Amino acid sequence: MVTVLNFYEELAIAALRNTADEDRLYAFFAGIIQQSATCLEGWIKSERAIDNEPDYYCEFLKLVARWAAWKK
């Protein structure tokens, strides 16, 4: 799970910093990104609390919110 979330975090950083083609990433990953965020929300919150790290996966969740607003 951590490996997948780390991948999503890297994907989000690339998209948000314009080092990757966000339209292509959206076309390929939008569905699974949203599903993953929904399914893993509780786990992310738990890990943040356990490790006292409120920023875990923050870029991933920013991208999720951004893409939810797009709804292409």
Q: Which residue has the tokens 């919150």?
A: 45
Structure tokens at 64: 């999720």
Sketch the domain layout of the chain as residue ranges: 2-70
pLDDT of residue 60: 98
pTM, rounded to two decimals:
0.91
Q: How large is the average pLDDT for residues 4-9?
A: 96
Q: How many CB atoms lie within 10 A of CB 34?
A: 13
Q: Which residue has the tokens 């939008």?
A: 30
The angle, 0 to 180 degrees and rounded to 10, between the axes of the packed helices 58-70 and 22-51 is 140
Q: How large is the average pLDDT for residues 2-13?
A: 96
Q: What's the first-to-final CA gap in the chain, in angstroms?
A: 27
Residues 10-40: pLDDT tens digits?
A: 999 999 999 999 999 999 999 999 999 999 9
Q: Contact 9/59 with Cβ under 8 angstroms?
A: yes
